[in-house]
Structure formats: C-alpha cells, structure tokens
Amino acid sequence: MSKTPDSGKTEDERPSTVEQYLVKDPERFALNMARMIEQAGKAASAWAEPREKGEVRDHVAEPVVDMVKTFSKLSEYWLSDPQRALEAQTRLFSGYMTVWANSIQRLSAGGENADDSVKPELGDKRFQDPEWGRNAFFDFLKQAYLVTSRWANELVEHADGLDEHTRHKASFYVKQVSNAISPSNFILTNPELFRETIASNGENLVRGMKMLAEDIAAGKGDLKLRQADYSSFEIGKNLATTPGKVVGRSDVAEILQYDPATETVLNRPLLICPPWINKFYILDLNPQKSFIRWAVEQGHTVFVISWINPDERHGTKSWEAYIREGLQYGLDTIEKATGEKDINAVGYCVGGTLLAAALALMAQEGDHRIKSATFFTTQVDFTYAGDLKVFVDEEQVAAVEKAMNEKGYLDGTKMATAFNMLRSGDLIWPYVVNNYMRGKDPLPFDLLYWNADSTRMAAANHSFYLRNCYLENRLSQGMMELAGRVVSLKDITIPVYNLASKEDHIAPALSVFLGSKYFGGDVDYVMAGSGHIAGVVNPPAAQKYHYWTGGKPAGDFDQWLAGATNHPGSWWPHWQRWIEAKDNTRVPARKPGNHMKTLGDAPGTYVKVRV
C-alpha cells in the first residue's frame, strides 16, 4: 500500500478532505507554474520550427475529416426520426439523473451505504484511486463519464442504417474520443494527479513539459510518445543477441544465419519472414523470450530476413521486389550456405501474407523449394480483418498514397501512431498521464522499446498491400497480379501450420480461420491464447496461456472452437512436433561462413537504422 506525500498514511487510511487539494506554498507553486510555461514554450517551438522551415507537413485534417464524416452518418440515422432521437436523448438524461440521485444520496449519507449506479469495466485501471469512489465530486465525474461513453457506444451498436464499414469506423472513433476525454487524463478531474501536483507544488508539471518538449524534438516536429526508458536497451547488446552472422544483403533485406546450438540439425533449414511493418527482433527480444534462439536449440538451422528500413531510394520497391530480393533471395542464400534446397518457411503477420502470395507465384513458376509453410497471425483473406481496416477505404488510401509519393515512403511515426490507436487506452493515454502530467519517466520494457522502434513503409510496397489486401481483398479471391501472373492460393499444396491468437485485434482468429480454406493443401489451424504478440512470443518455460487444436478448419468457427482441445502452455512444442513429422532427418550442424563469406555479426546493420 503506497504512502501519500502529504500525510504518511496509506491512501485507504487518509480521510477525504479539502485540505489535500489546497496549495501549501503559493510562492513555490507560482514559480513552478512559470517554469512549466517556459518548458511549454519550448515544446511549442519544437512543434512549430520544422513547420516554419517546411520540413513537416501536417495531414491531421484528413483523419479528422473522415471522423467527422463518419459521425455525420451516425447522426443522420438518429436525427432522421424525431421519436428515435428523443428516445436516445431520454436514455442519456435518465442515466445522468440516476448518477445525480446517487450523488445526492452519497452526500446525505456521508458517503456510506451508497453504491455507484454505473461501475467501470473489470480491469479498468483508470479509476483505482480511492477518491474516485469516496469523494462525491470525483465520483460524479467518473459515473457521468461512464454513462456518456457507454451511451455513445450504444448509439453505434443500435444504428441499423449504417453499413458495416461505417459502423466499424464509428465504433473505433467513439472509442478514441471516449479514451481521450476520460477525466483520468486531466489534472483538475483526476484526484491522484491533483494531489501530486499540489504536494509537489507543480514540479511534476515542469518535468512533464520538459519531457513533452524533448519528445516533440525527438519526433522532429511530431510527438514521439515515450513508452519506455529507451536508454536501457541496445540492439545487439541486450536485444537481438542470439549469435549468428549476416550471410547475404540485398537492397531490401539482410539474411541472417544463426550459430547452431546442437551437434546435429534438421536437414531442412528454417527461413523466417517477419513483417517489415515492425523489426524482426520481436522474435529475439532476449534469451528467455526468443523464438529464434529456442528454434536453434531444437535443431533448426535458422535464417531470418531482416528488412531494410526504407527511405526515398526504395519508393518504387513493390511486392514483387520484396519477393525477389527478400524471400527468394533468402532461399538462394540458404542454398549457397547449406547446399540444401528443401526448406521450411515461417511468415509472421504481413510477412506471412507476403509468403503466401510468394508461394502462389512460385508454384506457377515451378519454384518448389519451400516444403512447409507456417503462418503466425497471418491474414490471407481480409473480409473480417481487424481494427486496421478502419483506416482503409478509397479516400483514406488515396490520402496515404499522396503523402507517400511526396517522399517515397510513409513515415514510421504514422504507422506507430496507427498501431497505438488500436489500443489507445493501454498504449497512449497512460503514458500521456505518466510522462507529461505526473512528470515520471516510464520504466524500461523491452517490448515497448521494440514497439517504439518504428519502420518506414516503401510507397509502392505499402500501396500494393493496402489496395490488394485490405481494400480489394484480391489475394483470397484469386485476383492478385504479381510478375505478370494472376496468382491463386489454391496452388499452394504444401502442408500449412496456420497459427492464430484468441485476442488478436490485428489479425483476428476468425479471419485467420476463414483464410485457411483458400489453401490447396492440408492446413493445421491452431489458436493460441492472448494477442498478436504475446500469443506468438510465448516460450514454454513461461508456462503461460493455452492453445487450441481441433479438426479441419472448415465450417463455423464457433463450432470448431467448441470442439477443439484446450492445451495448457505454449504452442511452440506442438509446432516442433508438426515440423519433425514432415521430415526429421538430421545432419551435422552447419556453421555460418562454412561455404560463403559472411558480412558481419547478427543482428546486422539494417535493423539498427532508426527513424
């Protein structure tokens, strides 16, 4: 139980009094307010200067316009029928009256025997301070906010006239606005922030404004939200430390080969194709969490594609270029390094989507080197894609393409912001409050360091992905054109291990399940517990989560899940058994550099380029 700075008592023991919200040292408080304003001026300067020099162009209006259009369609439904509008307003007013009556009862009873009429969702960490329930003012703010935000969500859910894409966008935007206006985000409406500001005479705000100025400067005019203590990490020192060598380098990819950890290894090398939207070392964060290190220890000769962090030179690099100069270049490199043509391949997220498209193209071209394919949280059909689909319609894609064509790439901060918005309640607002209002440095956290280590998107590559996958869903429909050919997933007849994760908001388990039917061969569908990252990066030693296996991934997803077998722990050993069942032949361990010149130590140079 924490001690409060003003009383030495625990928060539960301290009485709810006005005194704790009164300034004790007006002169010091005033001085700190002046210092805060000075730092705020530096933040404003860091934001304005790149714009005055023409180094930054704002595109804020475009998403705001889309949000306004979406809310206009929602309003049109409710306002087109006066009776419907009146009923909606009545529900909101009734909720407010209930909260008001509850507050009156709480005041008259001295805070006793009065229960909240509306309570936060289980696991909501914003309202844990005792004052949210004990102080009538803060309790009223909390309940009024919850009533309003839930009423807004209901407006979206019950707007029968909306098409599904507009409903999805409306729900997403309502969530963003609700998270932004939470009383927990503001000094005067958050009791904990209020007390800390008074107790420190505003020094927290001075520190917070200083951090804000630093983060805007780090983002070169845009806010680069600090989510962890980045100074504690260095790629190659305490991140991405599995030993290996760079054995190939093209314009878009470095190929890494890792040192063996066993005397014999599986005959088929393993090629991992990670997403280029993030960096590959999510699979090699540290020795305890590293899928790459674990795979090496199981006897795989592991090769990984480390994608370039593109700049204006790579603007015309298309999906075909990423296939030829990334995936197939990796296969060529493996053949030179090991002499082996039969290869197991893994694709993660969009890296898996690229792998699937490449396999379909290679099948037509007679390139059959990949003998099994494993997909980690990969979509090949985008009918039920996750919340990223909110950002994809013709107008938004055209706006992104216009922005990309100015430089040849999409800024890494744009993608980072989009991903953070998918979980703004976890990845944005807690850090805004902690950093810029409490003035506290975030803690060191390797996963959040990786999350902030953003990558740019090459213009041609990203445009192809948005249009062919999210917007037009051409891959699963057998309509995607690559290298002058129309490719079909039905041509992929090799065994497929298709991993989904239960709580994935980027590649939903339903979407991955439905995509299974488009492959031409046998598909083993497995669903891991947790989400897009934790569901995949779940080492057996951690003994966390579960995974589900069942019959053929066909028919209704809920029925498949109801009949599936629940297994405790990590899916990694299950995958290893699946791989060994295809070919368990062992050969002497292969060391990087035995048959070709190496280009430096893993993790290479491409992964170290930051934006």
Q: Alpha carbon of 217 to those of 40, 221, 431, 462: distances in Å?
A: 13, 6, 17, 27
**90 burial class (0-12, 13-18, 19+ CB within 10 angstroms)?**
exposed
The helix (run of H) or strand (run of E) holding residue 251 is none
Place of tokens 């029925």: 559
How many CB atoms within 10 Å of residue 251?
A: 13
**349 labelled catalytic:** yes
SS3 35: helix
H-type alpha helices, 516-605: 557-563, 572-582
How many CB atoms within 10 Å of residue 188?
A: 11
Sign, CA dihedral 442-448-453-455, equals: negative
First to last CA, the chain: 41
How many CB atoms within 10 Å of residue 535?
A: 24
Which of 247, 258, 310, 313 is closest to 283 using CA atoms? 258
> What is the distance of C-alpha 541 from the center of its chain?
24
SS3 253: strand
Find all residues with CB under 8 Å of 60, minimum gap 6, and list them: none
The active-site residue out of 349, 380, 385, 482 is 349
Angle at 500 between CA 602 and CA 445, to 5 degrees: 50
Strands 370-376 and 343-348: parallel
Among all residues, which ones are annotated catalytic? 349
